[in-house]
Structure 1
Amino acid sequence: MATTIADRGWNADAIARIFGWVFLAAGVLGFFPNPLVSYRGLFEVNTLHNLVHIVSGGALLAAPYYNLSVSIMRIIGVVYAIVMVLGFISTDMMSWLAINQPDNWLHLILAGGLLWAGFSMTEDRERITTAH
């Protein structure tokens, strides 16, 4: 019998938090000169791009408190998929966000992960019970 990620104790809230911290860290890191995430880094970013990562991370971190983890992962996954497609069509089309080809591939991975988590999991609040 195949086990699912939910069978291993993972739920949508935990996955949303992981993605949230990753996006938040990338957004903050982008404000400091470094070879990975910066204006001249492997993943090209500008202030607006960093703010998008911070807002995405904040939404994902807040989602569990409002029972919205699945919905937020789906929404952000779709948005990142659209950005990825537009970026692959023409990086000039997304120049206002400072997106380069490595960003497009990373957005493909992030969108895939968010959409997979968002559509394979449920808002599973009923598992939480109180002792009587």
Structure 2
Amino acid sequence: MARLPTLIFGVILVLLGLLGFISNPLIGAHALFAADAAHNVVHILLGVLLLTVAFWAKESSALWLKGVGILLFLFGLAGVISVPETGGALFGAFMTNRFSDWFHLVAGAIVFFGSFHDKDDPHTSASGMKF
């Protein structure tokens, strides 16, 4: 089971979403990582979803991590492709900029590969990849 990574990434997403509602230089409309209220709400909802899975659907944790990882990666890719470097709205709804786009690309890859973490499976290597 990938319960621990699901729990960790769920907490991180909720904290990032909440941080976006507090005036700070890291996350916000005019911060290093551009995010508006809709963007923050999506982070909170995804985090709550992962926390729910971590506690009540442990056996499907890896599947949910893969899905969220792919979703984050695709949003980052869409931002890199369609939003100007100076920033703008992704799909006309979510404020983003280049820092935020690259963060989503990297975070998506980390979350996706975190789904392969399984300490209980004897066929899992030290790197977390299954044989």
Q: TM-score, normalised by structure 1?
A: 0.79
SS in 1 for 2:40: helix
| Structure 1 stretches of 4+ moved >3 Å | 121-125
Equivalent residues of 2:89, 2:95 under 8 A apart: no
**Cα-Cα RMSD:** 1.9
Q: Which runs of 5+ in 2 are unaligned?
A: 122-131
Q: Which residue of 2 aligns with 1:66?
A: 57
Q: Which runs of 5+ in 1 are unaligned?
A: 1-10, 126-132
1:90 and 2:82 matched:
yes
Q: TM-score, normalised by structure 2?
A: 0.79
Structure number with higher helix proportion: 1
Matched length: 114
Q: Which residue of 2 aligns with 1:106?
A: 103
Structure number with higher strand proportion: 2
Cα 1:123/1:49, change in 2 over 3 Å: farther
Picking from 7, 11, 27, the partner of 1:21 is: 11
Identity, in percent, stands at 27
Cα drift, residue 124 of structure 1: 5.4
Q: Which residue of 2 aligns with 1:42?
A: 32
Equivalent residues of 2:14, 2:43 under 8 A apart: yes
